Amino acid sequence: MLPRINTFIKSSAFFQLARRPLHPIRTLTSTPPNMVKVMAVLYKGGKAAQEEPRLLGTIENKLGISDWLREQGHEFIVTEDKEGPDSVFQKNLPDTEILITTPFHPGYLTADLIEKSPKLRLCVTAGVGSDHVDLNAANKHKITVAEVSGSNVTSVAEHVVMSILLLVRNFTTGHDQAINGKWDVASIARDAYDLEGKVVGTVGCGRIGYRVLQRLQGFDCKELLWFDYNDIPADAAKSINARRVNSLEELVEQCDVITINCPLHEQTRGLFNKELIGKMKKGSWLVNTARGAIVDADAAAEALKSGHLRGYAGDVWNVQPAPADHPWRSMTNPLGAGNGMVPHYSGTTLDAQKRYADGAFDIIKRYLAGEPQNPANVIVENGDYATKAYGKRDGKA
């Protein structure tokens, strides 16, 4: 059963639904220009990028598209310098036509910056999650925002399952002992549990949320739950043997483990605040690989400190790179455990980088050739949302 469903999902019939544009075929309005200015804001790879050319998402390896763009006569600026008016990013924006950036080191394209960027026509997210662009402002200026949908969803789903396990099993306490010359089994085991018999739920059951539930099939959880305002096909729902709940409150009140897998948008910013976290079961675990700003940073740190949350893990932060004194770096539960945070990398494995670099290239080539984009990749276009995943909107949810 599962392989057939997998093929079904990969063949796009399923998850194209979540991203079906209002008009199936739309051509980009820009006249194919002779030469355009393209800017990429990527993270610095340093020595690692020099030694490992498959680190494509870095300023050194430039998504592998630098030679092609320059051969075509286009100008290509690549930078990691993205903060403040004197940054390379902000200084080059006013005459940039195509902006590429990545959620791992996002160039935050605010409404104010969009106002000052009259030539900007296309924003490409090398990865998944385009919340770093003010999408309403992009609509106002009829800028297209496209991402490489699906490129790293398996990478993230695997990371979610790993994070759930490392929290529930209190892995980091044991690992710390192993590398620090200690051996105190009781102090690990006093906070270690089995995932078997627990209730796990996802907020958002799109490409990632669904794959997380798929991957949890073998753990004999007591129940798998999902909450999403969009539906999934009956066959797909049946294959994950999970129960849909009607509200977020209903989800959080029942779950031992919550995993967040929805985009950051107006309705999810700060969603897991003190009040909602307070409704979670005492001693439950929260995993967030979606976006840091979906969770109130102080509320999560406080809940962990008090023991209301037993653990919090993820790779996304409300500011990236996260400052050295970010509360999520040092927060623990009363037993000094429960912190499964890492820098934002779950969706940028070497396997994922190849897929999102290829996908970004395809989006740019289509734009430059005046061809329509793959509808599954389009977030906003022609002044409107082309996806149903960025919040309930009139008639589209």
Nearer to ligand NAI, 69 or 128 (CB): 128
How far is the C-alpha of 123 from the C-alpha of 93, rounded, in Å? 11
| 227 binds ligand NAI per the rule CB under 6 A | yes
Q: Among this protein's residues, is 170 annotated catalytic?
A: no
Ramachandran angles phi, psi of 197, nearest 5°: 85, 0
In the list 230, 273, 318, 374, the residue contacting ligand NAI (rule: CB under 6 A) is 230
Q: Among this protein's residues, is 344 annotated catalytic?
A: yes
Q: What's the full length of the chain, in residues?
A: 397
> Which DSSP state fits 144?
E
How far is the C-alpha of 374 from the C-alpha of 210, rounded, in Å? 22
The count of chain residues that interact with ligand NAI, using the rule CB under 6 A, is 35
10-69: which residues touch ligand NAI (CB under 6 A)?
15, 18
Residue 340: which of 309, 320, 311, 307 has the closest Cα?
A: 311
How far is the C-alpha of 174 from the C-alpha of 182, rounded, in Å? 9
Nearer to ligand NAI, 207 or 355 (CB): 207
Closest CB 120 distance from ligand NAI, rounded Å: 22
| 386 binds ligand NAI per the rule CB under 6 A | no
Closest CB 185 distance from ligand NAI, rounded Å: 33
Nearer to ligand NAI, 76 or 272 (CB): 272
Tokens of 217: 């099939």
Q: Among this protein's residues, is 353 annotated catalytic?
A: no
Stretch that binds ligand NAI, among 177-185, 214-222, 227-235, 300-308 (CB under 6 A): 227-235
Closest CB 22 distance from ligand NAI, rounded Å: 16
In the list 105, 121, 291, 355, the residue contacting ligand NAI (rule: CB under 6 A) is 291
Closest CB 393 distance from ligand NAI, rounded Å: 11
| 228 binds ligand NAI per the rule CB under 6 A | yes
**151 annotated ligand binder:** no
**345 annotated ligand binder:** yes
In the list 347, 357, 376, 378, the residue contacting ligand NAI (rule: CB under 6 A) is 347
Tokens of 346: 């779950």
| DSSP helix/strand/coil, 133 | strand
**355 annotated ligand binder:** no
- Packed helices 171-179 and 153-168: angle between N→C axes, nearest 10 degrees: 80
Residues β-bridged to residue 314: 288, 341
| 375 binds ligand NAI per the rule CB under 6 A | no
Cis peptide leading into 21, omega within 30 of 0? no
Stretch that binds ligand NAI, among 80-88, 125-133, 167-175, 331-339 (CB under 6 A): 125-133
| 263 binds ligand NAI per the rule CB under 6 A | yes
Residues 288 and 230 sit within 8 Å (Cβ to Cβ)? no
Nearer to ligand NAI, 21 or 209 (CB): 209
Ramachandran angles phi, psi of 37, nearest 5°: -95, 125
Order of all β-strands in the sheet with 243-244: 243-244, 223-227, 199-203, 257-260, 284-288, 309-314, 339-341
Q: Active site residue: 92, 214, 320, 377, which one? A: 320
Going from the C-alpha of 11 to that of each of 126, 147, 366, the distances in angstroms are 22, 18, 21
- Alpha carbon 109 to its chain's center: 17
**Range 88-92, long-range pairs (CB < 8 A, 24+ positions):** 89/39, 89/41, 92/37, 92/39
In the list 42, 63, 257, 262, the residue contacting ligand NAI (rule: CB under 6 A) is 262
Active site members: 152, 291, 320, 344
Query: Which residue positions form the known binding site for substrate?
Result: 128, 152
Q: Which residues bind ligand NAI (CB under 6 A)?
A: 15, 18, 127-129, 152-153, 156, 203-209, 227-230, 261-264, 267-268, 289-291, 315-316, 344, 346-347, 389, 391
Query: Which residue positions form the known binding site?
Result: 128, 152, 207-208, 228, 263-267, 289, 315, 344-347
